[in-house]
Structure 1
């Protein structure tokens, strides 16, 4: 375990060993994730983005579910419009 000190300007120095190990270079964005146990600090480097690879692929069920939801919503809107027209007469 390594430690660091927060400066009066709110800056935190990440120890060199960890910067090297996790490929944290100048300009790399850092994620601060709150957990029940505290804060997790992670770099938004290439490995971070690779962890999302394939997350949205699947068997097409989601696309079909979204299509059905749109149809149901459109049907509901049409019924509301019809009811408003009928009520105005």
Structure 2
């Protein structure tokens, strides 16, 4: 396990082998997480929006789901209008 120095400004240098292994590039960003008394450094996605794409992907497309929703909404409105005096 490599030992690193912490500068007076609180900076540390991550060894090159670990930077290459985990895709940490300079200039770049990393996430610092504290968990169970440990500090975890993990690469931050270059663009969080692009990296999250498809994460919540459903079985149907959003367009199809929206069309079904609007169709059901129209059906319910027509049913409600038929009940009005």
Q: Which has the higher helix share?
A: 1
State the TM-score, normalizing by the size of structure 2: 0.55
**Structure 1 unaligned blocks of 5 or more:** 64-89
Structure 1 residue ranges, 4+ long, deviating more than 6 angstroms after superposition: 48-51
Match of 2:17 in 1: 17
Render the CA deviation track for 1:30-83: whole Å, top value 9, x for unaligned: 10011113111011145x8786443222257xx9xxxxxxxxxxxxxxxxxxxx
Aligned length: 62
Distance 1:43 1:16 in 2: 14
- Provide the alpha-carbon RMSD of the alignment: 3.1
Match of 1:8 in 2: 8
Match of 2:38 in 1: 38
Distance 1:27 1:11 in 2: 14
8 A contact 1:24–1:45 mirrored in 2: no
Equivalences for 1:1-89 in 2 at 5 Å?
Answer: 1-45=1-45, 52-59=52-59
